[in-house]
């Protein structure tokens, strides 16, 4: 699992690739939290375009970062999730959260 970060105005973009399972989740969580502190941003984009698998650990990563971002008054965007990852996120209720939205995958 690789995570690449870049800044887009007051937004941190976390581009994820590979599998998000319980083995990768702790590292992803830590890496994103470190970047949020370093750059003091209030918005976060999760780019799932290159994620091939995600289990409930990935939901935990998203929800935990959502809580941090919302406490700052920011928003979270889920970008580029394929149909399987999107289904997992949808079933968890992530897209129903206030301040969380989806950018559809470009086919």
What distance in Å separates the CA atoms of residue 106 and residue 102, rounded to the nearest whole number?
12
**Does pLDDT of 96 surpass 80?**
yes
Q: Is pLDDT above 90 for 27?
A: yes
Q: What is the pLDDT of residues 38-55, one digit of tens each?
A: 998 999 999 999 999 999
Q: Which domain holds residue 75?
A: 2-103
Chain centroid to Cα 7, Å, comes to: 14
Instruction: Considering only residues 2 and 97, tell me which one the structure prediction assigns the higher pLDDT.
Output: 97
CATH code, domain carrying 83? 3.30.750.24
Q: What is the total count of domains within the chain?
A: 1
What local confidence, expressed as pLDDT, does residue 95 receive? Answer: 94
Distance (Å, whole) CA 101 – CA 103: 7
1 pLDDT band (50/70/90 cuts)?
Answer: confident
**pLDDT of 105 above 80:** no
d(CA 93, CA 63): 10
């Amino acid at each position: 699992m690789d995570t690449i970060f870049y800044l887009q105005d007051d937004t941190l973009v976390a581009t994820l690739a590979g599998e998000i399972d319980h083995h990768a989740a702790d590292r992803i969580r830590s890496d994103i939290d470190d970047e949020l502190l370093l750059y003091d941003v209030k918005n976060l984009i999760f780019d799932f375009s290159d994620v091939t698998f995600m289990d409930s650990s990935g939901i935990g990563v998203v929800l935990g970062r959502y809580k941090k971002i919302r406490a700052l008054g920011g928003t979270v965007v889920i970008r580029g999730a394929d149909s399987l990852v999107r289904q997992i996120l949808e079933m968890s209720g992530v897209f129903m959260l206030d301040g969380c939205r989806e950018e559809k995958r470009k086919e």
